[in-house]
Structure 1
Amino acid sequence: MTLYRLRRSVVPSPRHYKVCPDALYSSLPLRAVGRTDNAGVDAMENGCVQQNGIDENLVFLQKMLDDYKGQDNFNRVARKVTAVAANEKSIVVELTVENEHVNGKGTLHGGQTASLVDIVTARAVGMTVRDRGMVSVEIAVSYLLPVKLGETILIEGKVLKCGRNIAFTECEFRRKSDNALVAKGKHTLAFMHKPVTNQF
């Protein structure tokens, strides 16, 4: 099955992922790498630059997400999130809603959603800003539809503007089964002046 061929600056929105083929790696839910015309020659598929058939942005994003798996602080809310696509201005990740993510009604907890807005948009900024810590200035979330236990969501974090001191981002949550928009968030971050070795 053919992947979408897009401009380098664009990651396909979650509604396009239904046409993607099966997983490339066991840790990645969708194939996010494409062909290379010749060994060592870049080819561009799915909005991402390829090097020897490997999407380096996607590998970097998955590495950032893997860092959450062993954490016992509040960032553990993202330990089940997996990478789908990435470039320098936006990322898409996937989460299947489990018991640890839901409220008493069996739907995705609002606090979990807000935390994912924080984490996913910060990781989108972190695709290019890799040597500075970040702190939240403002987070806002609109909850549009419930997400039930067992459903899978695709979350797109997008950098709207990244300045010297502040980054402005937005986030969309879509139900994978029908592409319905279930939540929307925005997140403003400020950069810390001192470089950090681990910002996760």
Structure 2
Amino acid sequence: MASKHTLQLIRTIVEHSTKGALGFENILNKVKVTSGGGGACTCEMQVAEEHQNRAGTLHGGMTCTLVDAVSTWALLGTDEPVAGVSVDLSVSFMRGAKVGDDIIIDAKMLKRGKRLAFLTVDITNKLDGNLLAQGKHTKYIG
């Protein structure tokens, strides 16, 4: 079970790496951590204009970035926190999300070995629960 301390640690890491960031991570500044710890992290975000593609839906690159970031935050919320380095990342896209839609990004660690960690991420529409995308992320951790 995740402690309040672990959840606060994840929130602090996210805030320091996204709020006012000069680099790419700034695109994640509207992501809110709602729970975390024990190899899991759940976030919410409202899709904004800067997250959309030309069709007016959540950009695939933004979806991949959410999979990458939130699964990494899940790893940082373990007893042995580590960000690791991506070895493999894949995303299956099921439905689009429009500007103004609230989405939930739910990451879970499936397995952690000596050198690799395997994570999965579900992105769902908060209103109706429909699965929008599902990601798998493998990270080298040591």
Aligned partner of 2:126 among 137, 161, 176? 176
146-155 vs 75-84, greater mean Cα deviation: 75-84
Q: When the two structures are superposed, what TM-score results if normalisation uses the length of structure 2?
A: 0.92
Give 1:1-200 correspondences, 5 Å limit.
Answer: 8=1, 48-49=2-3, 55-67=4-16, 68-128=18-78, 129-130=80-81, 132-192=82-142
**Which structure is higher in helix share?**
2
How much is the aligned-residue C-alpha RMSD, in angstroms?
Answer: 1.3
Structure 1 residue 57 displacement after superposition: 2.3
Q: Measure, in 2, the Cα distance between the counterparts of 1:64 and 1:77.
A: 15
Deviation track 1:30-72 (CA, whole Å, cap 9, x = no partner) reads: xxxxxxxxxxxxxxxxxx44xxxxx222211211110111212
Unpaired segments of 5 or more residues in structure 2?
none
Q: Secondary structure at the match of 1:153?
A: strand
- Percent of pairs identical after alignment? 34
**Amino acid corresponding to residue 47 of structure 2 in structure 1:** V
Q: Which has the higher contact order (CA 8 A, sep 6+)?
A: 2
Structure 1 residue 182 displacement after superposition: 0.6
- Structure with higher Rg: it is 1
Deviation track 1:169-197 (CA, whole Å, cap 9, x = no partner) reads: 000001011111111000000125xxxxx
Unpaired segments of 5 or more residues in structure 1?
1-7, 9-47, 50-54, 193-200
**Amino acid corresponding to residue 5 of structure 2 in structure 1:** E
Q: Measure, in 2, the Cα distance between the counterparts of 1:164 and 1:71.
A: 32
**Amino acid corresponding to residue 128 of structure 2 in structure 1:** D
Q: Measure, in 1, the Cα distance between the counterparts of 2:132 and 2:15.
A: 25
